[in-house]
Amino acid sequence: MKSSTVTSDGVRLAVYEQGDRSKPTVLLVHGYPDTHLMWSDVAARLAEDFHVVSYDTRGSGKTTKPSTLDGYRLEHLANDLMAVADAVSPNAPVHVLAHDWGSIQAWEAVTEPANADRIASYTSISGPCLDHIAHWTRRPSPKTVWQMLHSWYIGFFHLPVLPTLVWRFWLGRNWGRLLSVVDGVPRRPGHPAPTITKDGINGMSLYKANFRPVMRNPRERRTTVPVQVIHPERDRYVTAPLTQNLQKWAPKLWRRTIPASHWVAQSHPDVVARMATEFIRHVDGEPATRSLRRAEEGRHRAPFADQLVVVTGGGSGIGRATALAFAKQGAEVVVCDVNHDTAAETAALAGVKAHAYQVNVADEGAVAKFAADVAAAHGIPDVVVNNAGIGHAGALMDATTEEWQRVLDVNLWGVIHGCKSFGELMIAGGEGGHIVNVASAAAYLPTKLLGVYSTSKAAVFMLSDCLRAELAAAGVGVSTICPGIVNTNIAGTTTFSGVSAAEQTRRQEASTRAYRRRNFPPEKVAAEIVRAVRQRRAVVPVTIESKVARVTSRLFPSVLRGLAARF
């Protein structure tokens, strides 16, 4: 890393560069009460592809502080940004990535018409334009009140003496521990207590110098620069409404969310670096990624346009209907089945944005390879439907170990493999997602006829409940779908314990006739699956018998147990 000094309006700015200077320049601007070190992990990743520059803003790190409160006004902060840009990239515009107060001051520079040709793109994280906020608060609503409650510290920083004492005698010493406990930021050396105390005390001048003047007299601040807004969903300081409806000010706008807290650049550096890279490359002429296309504001799209959906067991029945339902709503679909021909038929029916794979979900290695192949060829899925399953009937005492193994391998282990392989991709992708596990009404409806099958589906039900809790922090939803009697080919392929081949054929034919008489089509189950993903529903019984059994199992479980024993 190369360090240097740039002088701007009487302040000496400490500037740090890394990466190849012949590549596009990315200028990183930190917030309060950080220094350029806040960007360390993100900068290291960006430096592989860009010339990366960061600097300590006024009064922080090794940058000097202005002599008066007026020296912290936004116009001086914007001049600092442009002075650094001119010094490190005099012949080409820079791409700006900023966080918190870094974003606030970057908005000031980006919305200055004279800078339009010097800033190629702007990615803002957790730092709105103060003028935009001022206009927004002039239309009071519950959202503005909620944001004001989240911004309590601004009023505190305007108090005399007390905020300084808090920083000097408590906050400065405990800042790293506080971030770790409250916001999940990894603790690391590099910002010792004396330094953070100084930066915290100096940085309060940012609030004192700017909030009252801007709130009293907001300006119309617009920009033609392409703007990407990244919103951490668990931000305790900047609520979602402040990042929405910005097209009035920035017509070239993309908005993305990360299931993270305020200091997302430190907790999720890979995700922030990837989002910034995708945006910068697109602005520089490369095609937009699926995720970036989905983030573009003002585009009219189908409900699942620019989303990738994976369906296992998609060669027939509920799986095929589900793949077609998502495709109809604009999704790109990946279908897998143990039978490649039927998977290919589904893909052909789904249209040009569909792909077929042959996969045995009972094989852990095959599913892991399938997930890796999908990620490499198509990207990380937004939705995964673990639908593959087989039927089995007969008394538990008649079931052989081999029959148990066969059913559990597909119905339970197949779901486990899918959840693990694709869940890991979704977590690493950092943009959430949704997993759908197809269970059954048999999961909560005891019977002497389907013991093995019911056990496998009950395990899927509990697996989904546990997984839902585990993946919530990563923004990945989990839905459990519980169909009843659905007219698919599962009845014709169900195996039976303890009967002859001829009797098994007779029972399969009888079951098929019964399912046909019930005549509940798989398309209705598929519609419920699509609705569950859109509404992020947890448990979805499908068919009247499934819904009745679900209610009865919760209110009168002894009734179901008694009926199971009698019939």
Same domain, 464 and 527: yes
Same domain for 235 and 340, yes or no, is: no
Please check whether residue 524 lies inside any domain of the structure.
yes
Give whole-number Cα distances, 126 to 32, 100, 145, 243, 298, in Å. 11, 5, 18, 8, 21
**Whether 338 and 442 share a structural domain:** yes
Provide the domain limits for residue 522.
308-566
Domain boundary among 250, 272, 295: 295
Q: Residue 121, Cβ neighbours under 10 Å: how many? A: 25
- Render pLDDT for 15-63 as a digit per residue (tens, 0 to 9): 999 999 999 999 999 999 999 999 999 999 999 999 999 999 999 999 9
Active-site entry in 16, 55, 237, 453: 453
Of 254, 358, 357, which Cα lies nearest the Cα of 306? Answer: 254
How far is it, in rounded angstroms, from Cα 79 to Cα 155? Answer: 27
Task: List the one residue out of 86, 65, 49, 72 whose CA is nearest residue 12.
Answer: 65
pLDDT at 151: 94
Tell me what pLDDT residue 189 has: 62
Same domain, 505 and 400: yes
Mark which of 295, 329, 359 sits at the end of a domain: 295
Is 49 strand, coil or helix? coil
Using an 8 Å Cβ cutoff, are 114 and 217 in contact?
no
Tell me, yes or no, whether 430 lies in a domain: yes
Structure tokens at 423: 């869940």
3-state secondary structure of 425: helix
What tens digit of pLDDT does each residue of 273-330 get? 999 999 999 999 999 999 999 999 998 889 999 999 999 999 999 999 999 999 999 9
Is the sign of the CA dihedral 447, 450, 452, 456 positive or negative? negative
**272 and 349 in one domain?**
no
Asked whether residue 301 is domain-assigned, the answer is: no
CATH (domain of 420): 3.40.50.720
Residues 288 and 315 occupy one common structural domain: no
Task: For 277-293, write each residue's pLDDT tens digit.
Answer: 999 999 999 999 999 99
Instruction: Answer yes or no: do 271 and 393 share one domain.
Output: no
| 175 domain residue, yes or no | yes
- Residue 216 belongs to a domain with what CATH number? 3.40.50.1820
Q: What is the pLDDT of residue 296?
A: 96
Burial (Cβ within 10 Å: 0-12, 13-18, ≥19) of residue 387: buried
440 contacts 457 by C-beta, under 8 angstroms: yes
Query: Any catalytic annotation for residue 153?
Result: no
Residue at 236 is within a domain: yes
Is there a single domain that holds both residue 151 and residue 291? yes
Q: For residue 70, what pLDDT is reported?
A: 96
Q: Are residues 399 and 275 in the same domain?
A: no
Which has the closest alpha carbon to 266: 561, 31, 14, 549?
A: 31
Query: What DSSP string describes 519-551?
Result: ---HHHHHHHHHHHHHHT-SEEEESHHHHHHHH
CB environment 179-207: b (16+ within 10 A), e (fewer): beeebbbeeeeebeeebbbbbbbbbbbbb
Q: What is the pTM of this model?
A: 0.92
Of 295, 318, 344, which closes a domain? 295
**Weakly modelled stretches of the chain, pLDDT under 50:** none
Same domain? For 268 and 355 the reply is no
Domain count along the chain? 2
3-class DSSP string for 56-106: CCCCCCCCCCCCCHHHHCHHHHHHHHHHHHHHHCCCCCEEEEEECHHHHHH
Same-domain pairing of 368 and 498: yes
Residues 279 and 323 in one domain: no
